[in-house]
Amino acid sequence: MEKKLAKPSNSGMEKGISQGSISITDEMEKKRELARKHAQDKVKARTLAKQQQLAERIAVATEQLASGIEEASSAAEELGATMAQIARGANEASSAAEESRAAINQIDKASVVAEKNAKESLERVNIAKELIENTSNDIEMMIKGIKESAETNLESVKLVGELENQSNEIGEIVQAVVRIADQTNLLALNAAIEAARAGEHGKGFAVVADEVRNLAEISEKSARNITELVNEIQNNVKIVVADIQNAGKAANEEVEKAKKTTADLVKINEEIITVRDGVAEISQNAVDANKGAGEFLVLAEQVAVAADQQSSAAEEVEKSIQMQNRAFNELNAGAADLAQMAEDLKVSTDAQKSSESLAAAAEELSANVEEANSTANEILKAMQQIASGAQAQAELTDNAAKLAERLAVAAKQMSERAKFSADKIEELQNLLEANKIAVDNLIAGISASAESSMVSAKNIKNLEETTRRIDKIVDAIVNVSIQTNMLAVNGSIEAARAGEFGRGFSVVAGDIRALANESAENTDKIKDLVRGIQNQIQRVAADIDLSSKTSLAEVEKARKTTHNLNVIEESMIRILEGAREILKGSEESLVALEQAKKGVDQIATAAQEASSGAEQAAAAANQQAKGMQELAEAIEEISGLADELQNM
């Protein structure tokens, strides 16, 4: 059981104490109220101080936020300028790629034309080479034919020379016949003297002597006619010999000329091999150029695609930057509002309401920053894409530059080979033209030689006619010899009849008969020689006729050679035209290649600038992203402070 203290019950005392307690209590209440008020004032002061402190911190954070937004906006402007430069570079690269493609298309067309011309020229060169070889062989055969004809002519000279010897022999025999005729004439005179001595017994002697004298005169006259014909033969033989020798000499000269023509054709054939090799190299260079041009076009297409992608990416970044700039403008406006709220908060009587407005504004700014930050991340990705594209573009332009060097080598080689081929063909054309003239002269020379041989053959055949005339005269001398012999026999008979008176006449008749027999023997020799001359003439005429026909046949071959040379010349003209067209195309290709190389260099410069710009832009974007993060942190801090204010 709880024990309690007993209280006094004195009422008066209680009353007095009670009144005193009331007074003390009021005083204490007043003091307490004053203390509470003082405490409340302190709390309010501390709250105001803290509110002021938070407001100051919010103001500082707001200033930092505004400064960060300004820096981010400045970075965005710098990024925009860089993007504009990258976009311009991409457009320039695209334009340069298009120009390079146009130049390479020209090279491609030139290489196709060059390959076509080279193939056609190669075919023509091979045909011309084969034709030159055949023509050279034909001329070799022609030389052989002309040489054989010349040798035949020279052999004919020997045979014709034998005709002169044989005619000399006839001349000597004819002189013997003349001598016999003279002796016979003297004997006839002696017979006439003996007839006169015999008187009546010598009448028969006189008749015989007179007849013998007449026959002797006929024989002498015939012999002198033969001498004239022999002289004619000898003169004609000399003419024929001179003609044949001249023809043979001319033929040998033509042989030497033809040998030079053959040597020139051999040289042309050797030189055309170098042309063929050069044309083959041109063909290969054209194939390489065509292939290289195709590869270059692929690279140019890839460069153009990369440039377009880069340009598109730069445009997207520019659009994003524009959006970002709008966001930054909103952020600037929001930051300005936030700064004003922070200033207002310092003197606000309703911190709760002000802090709520501040928190709402901070949240709105936070959303804007988040949007700007998202855009910054997209820009950063785009910059990485641009940087990657610039690197790829740099690699492509490096490959294109190497390919351009390869194309330059091919075009230069084509140009050098085409110029060499053109110069060589012109040189061969001059040599060929000289050979055409030489062959024309050869034809004229062979034709003249053939005509001379034909004249010689005709002259030889004319000699045959002369020998036939000699033959007839010899027959007449033979008849005279027979008649003389018969008269001598008659004279011997008459002498026998006259007895003693006919002894002298008998001796004369015997001498006449002996001379007649000798004359007959000489005429036989002349006949044999004439037959030999006729055979020789036929042989020589046949040889010379064959020689002239051979020469005429060689003329036809020479005309065929001229035709072949004309065909070769036509081929040379076509080859020269092809070489000049290739030369022109290769020179134009070199000019176009310089333009393409300039385009490649321009693209490479643009790629390098894009790469450098992309690095700068990436750095700016990273800095911007970092700044955006700081903005987000600053806004987060402002939001936290606003929340803290709301909770005060």
| DSSP strands (E only) in 363-502 | none
Identify the pLDDT of residue 202.
67
Mean per-residue pLDDT of the chain: 80
pLDDT tens per residue, range 510-557: 888 888 888 888 888 888 888 888 888 888 888 888 878 887 887 887
Q: Is 207 exposed, middle or buried (0-12, 13-18, 19+ CB in 10 A)?
A: middle
Which tokens belong to 149? Answer: 């004809």
Q: For position 349, what pLDDT does the model report?
A: 63
pLDDT of 648 reads 59
Q: What is the pLDDT of residue 448?
A: 82
Q: Which CATH class is domain 100-323+383-625?
A: mainly alpha
Residue with tokens 């204490």: 28
Domain residue limits, the chain:
100-323+383-625
Report how far apart the first and last C-alpha atoms of the chain are (Å, whole number).
50
Cα gap 531→464, rounded to integer Å: 10
Nearest to 531 by CA among 50, 170, 271: 170
What is the per-residue pLDDT for 646? 64
- Give the integer Cα–Cα distance in Å for 328 and 333: 8
Q: Read off the pLDDT of residues 577-600 as tens digits, 9 standing for 90 and up.
A: 888 888 888 888 888 878 878 877
CA distance 274 to 389: 49
CB 190 within 8 A of CB 242: no
The angle at the Cα of 376, spanning 375 to 379, to the nearest 5 degrees, equals: 90
Element (H, E) at 427: helix 351-498
At 348 the three-state DSSP class reads coil
Parts of the chain with a pLDDT under 70 = 1-24, 43, 47, 51, 202, 345-352, 354-355, 645-648
Residue 2, pLDDT score: 40
- Comparing CA positions, the residue from 156, 130, 157, 146 lying closest to residue 257 is 146
